[in-house]
Amino acid sequence: MFGYTGKIARINLTNKQISNIDTGAYDSWGGGHGIGSAIFWDLCADKTIDGFNPGNVVTIMTSPLAGTLAPTGSRTEVQGIGVQAYPIAWYTRSNFGGRFANMLKAAGWDGIVIEGASDKPVWLNIINDKVTIEDAAGIWGLDTWATQQEIWRRVGGSATYEDWWEVTSARDGGRTTQRPAVLANGPAGEALARNGSLVHDAGAGAGQGGFGGVWGAKKLKAISVIGTGSVKVADPKALMDLRLWLARNHYHNVDDPVRQPAPGMSGLSVARSTSSVANEPNRVTGCASCGFPCKRRSESGTYNDSQCVDGAFYTVTGSVRDSRRATDMMQRAGVNAFESMNFHPYLNTLYKKGELGPGKKIDSAPLDLSQYGTIGFAQAFLDAICSRKGIGNDLAEGAMRAAAKWGTLATALENRELNMPNWGLPAHWSLPEVSWCYGSLMGDRDTNEHCFSFPQWTATQTVGLHAGGLTAEKFVKQVTGKMVPYSDDPFMLDYTWQGPTAEATGIYSDHKAKFIAWHRHYTRFWKQSMLFCDWAFPNFINAQNKNLEGFTPKTEEDCYKAVTGKSLSFAQGIEIGRKIWNLDRAIWILQGRHRDMEKFAPFFYKQYTQSRAQVTVYKDNKWEYSVESKMYIDSPKFESWKTKFFQFEGWDTASGWPKRKTLEDLGLKKVADALASANKLGS
């Protein structure tokens, strides 16, 4: 097999059995998320169980592109029943970058499947073909960074990692200069925190879903991988040609850019992001195989390899240096940045309201809210989660469950004290970019897919700074023109939210139903199964291309073909994405999903000063850019949009459950049968 290594490690922590799954039995699902969901479906007997239940099956999957030069295909997808979402912790996903996927492929594995739960703390040691379950004594209790360094010591033995080292005692057992790639669970996960994350290297992490807590329940501390093998590439020359074509026509040339990206700009601009303003000497760092590295490592070693929301975890000190130190604390504790950065301000809100504090309705001990804003508070907040002492026992349950216990949740969601519109996950670019909030609500979590926000940022910031900018009409046509197979419908990008146009072509229209469906299907396959980086794919508009031409869909197709040797059109990939999306939907339905639950938090239907973001609207027969600042969702109109969306997806409009024909046409007869047995098949 080209691209794939051909086998997936299956590890049962209850009975300590280790076996192989033939990747070939699942490769029609592509890789990553697709294979993960298909394996979960087959191996998780009862999909209605809690995420902490030993019956939960966790998959850690790579892409066939990982371990090759394919740009950014080196992310790792983690799936299983989560413990974070509210009120039901859905079957969910999270992925992380770094070098773990490439190392796993080099070791000869396409993925790892974890079943059962160990009776004592363990870690997994993968050295090429050899997989062992190791005793975590001496590692359990360590933070995520110390865990990794201790495992480096245990695996490498006398290796200094400054020279070649033999990974086995045989001369030809394989040698490398690299450190093992370790995915570590932190003290938060050990404490079964629903906001526990998994951390790899200093700053790569799978945060959403609470997989740290899930691993904690399985008594799994870490997975270490060292590999020295090869990933076969069907057409190496074509892959190299593709990479050079990208480098010469689309990537940010750091020495001689076609256009200077504005500071703050992410995606395809080297290091123009959260960490772009450094106050000490530093370097840009990138995940394995990346063509536009975006992270940093600094002289002080602070904020190494963190990125994105990591940097936003705790900025209330007002000091960049302190906020970066807090980020490191958060990574070491293994706590979900995105949830926490919305949670600790809520504690301060309750404190200000007089509801939380010493002697108040909610006892804050051991936290001292008068210290909120200090770096010490950040550490105390993390310590409380990890220790579950006092209020920490509630904090480890996450913001929604804590607020529900305190009796403050209804008010919090009415008044936007908790800015969490869908399933208890925080708002992101949720409005006005409805692809974000609709996709999140129709799914299981904050989608965290910047597919349509980055092109807008590119248009306004980078291109907008230069002569000959991008008209709204050109923007719409270029973006939708690449949305194969629906490329003939520019109204997918009409974000009109008021008046009759909103229902005709805007955010409540059939066009938007098609748009959201495309987005769900694209990301399920190309972004989460092929594991192209969210910050780079799809590429509709490219500021580093003289003609602003993005590299989607050519790059997705060409990459897949060069690596696997198989022809798969972009649209065929979208269709596999649809199949994966329907399988995921079926799992959520078994967990209890129904159309009636798919409602935003109450504040989302009220008019507040809202995040500003540029979108495109069709007004007076022409396209224009617009910045919406007071947008909200109209409940009846949104309900009518849901009906349109369910019709487009082939789901029952009353329940939101897929119909038998829809599933069978996708080759999912078994899934249809399972839903029918549960009386949850759409009619």
Partner 1 sequence: MAEEAKGIARREFLKGLGAGIIGGGLLVTGVFTATKTGIVSEVGIGKIKKLAVPASEGYIVVDTRKCSGCQSCMLACSLVNEGVGNPSLSRIQILQNTFGNFPLDISQAQCRQCVYPSCLYACPTGALHFDEKTGVRSVYEDACIGCQRCVQACPNTPSRVVWDYQDSHAEKCDLCLGAKYFSETGGPGGKQACVEVCPMKAIKFTGEIPVQTGKAGYDVNLRTTNWAANISPNVVGATAPTPAEGIYFNYTPPATK
Partner 2 sequence: MAELSVPSRELAARLLSELGYDEKITAWEVEPASGWLQCYIYSLKELANFLDAERGGFMHFIDPDDLRAWVRKTLGDEELAHAIAELSRECEACQNSVERYRKEIAVIRPIKELLLARLKQCEEVLGEATKV
**Residue 616, Cα to own-chain centre: how many angstroms?**
26
* Strands 220-226 vs 122-127: parallel, antiparallel or unpaired: parallel
Residue 316 binds what, of partner 2, partner 1, none (CB under 5 to 8 Å, by partner type)?
Answer: partner 2
Q: Which is nearer to partner 1, 457 or 600 (CB)?
A: 457
Query: Is 574 within 8 Å of 522 (Cβ atoms)?
Result: yes
Q: Which is nearer to partner 1, 254 or 410 (CB)?
A: 254
Residue 312 binds what, of partner 1, partner 2, none (CB under 5 to 8 Å, by partner type)?
Answer: partner 2
Helical (H) or strand (E) element with 642: helix 635-649
Query: Is 522 within 8 Å of 487 (Cβ atoms)?
Result: no
Which residues are within 8 A (CB) of 352 and not within 5 positions of it... i.e. 6 or more apart?
none
Binding to partner 2 in span 551-570, by CB under 8 A = none
Least CB distance to partner 1 at residue 44 (A):
32
3-class secondary-structure state, position 235: coil
- Written as one letter, the residue type at 118 is S
Closest by alpha carbon to 653, among 604, 600, 598? Answer: 598
Asked if 31 is part of the footprint of partner 1 (rule: CB under 8 A), the reply reads: no
Among 7, 75, 194, 324, binds partner 2 (CB under 8 A): 324
Binding to partner 2 in span 241-260, by CB under 8 A = none
Asked if 153 is part of the footprint of partner 1 (rule: CB under 8 A), the reply reads: no
For residue 604, CA distances in Å to 248, 259, 493 come to 44, 38, 21
What does the DSSP 8-state code read for residue 524?
Answer: I
Asked if 348 is part of the footprint of partner 2 (rule: CB under 8 A), the reply reads: yes
Binding to partner 1 in span 306-345, by CB under 8 A = none
Asked if 292 is part of the footprint of partner 2 (rule: CB under 8 A), the reply reads: no
Give the Cα separation of 329 and 331 in Å (integer): 5
Q: Assign residue 72 a region (left: φ > 0; alpha: ψ between -120 and 50; beta: otherwise).
A: left
- Written as one letter, the residue type at 124 is L
Residue 49 binds what, of partner 2, partner 1, none (CB under 5 to 8 Å, by partner type)?
Answer: none
Burial of 335 (0-12, 13-18, 19+ CB in 10 A): buried
Asked if 276 is part of the footprint of partner 2 (rule: CB under 8 A), the reply reads: yes
Least CB distance to partner 1 at residue 2 (A):
10
* Contact flags string 236-255 toward partner 1, x per CB under 8 A: xx-xxx-xx--x---xxxxx
Give the pair of three-digit tokens for residue 243. Answer: 């990479």
Q: Which is nearer to partner 2, 293 or 345 (CB)?
A: 345
Interaxial angle between packed helices 320-333 and 337-352, expressed in degrees from 0 to 180 and rounded to the nearest 10: 110
Residue 156 binds what, of partner 2, partner 1, none (CB under 5 to 8 Å, by partner type)?
Answer: none
Asked if 538 is part of the footprint of partner 1 (rule: CB under 8 A), the reply reads: no
Among 169, 607, 609, 621, binds partner 2 (CB under 8 A): 609
Q: Which is nearer to partner 1, 9 or 536 (CB)?
A: 536
* Contact flags string 260-279 toward partner 1, x per CB under 8 A: xxxxx----xxxx---xxxx
* Number of other residues whose CB lies within 10 A of the CB of residue 82: 26
- Written as one letter, the residue type at 266 is S
* Contact flags string 399-438 toward partner 2, x per CB under 8 A: -----------------x--x-------xxxx--------
Asked if 627 is part of the footprint of partner 2 (rule: CB under 8 A), the reply reads: yes
Q: Contact residues for partner 2 (CB under 8 A)?
A: 263-267, 273-277, 307-309, 311-312, 315-316, 318, 320, 323-324, 338, 341-342, 345, 348-349, 352-354, 416, 419, 427-430, 450, 453-454, 457, 460, 535, 609-614, 625-629
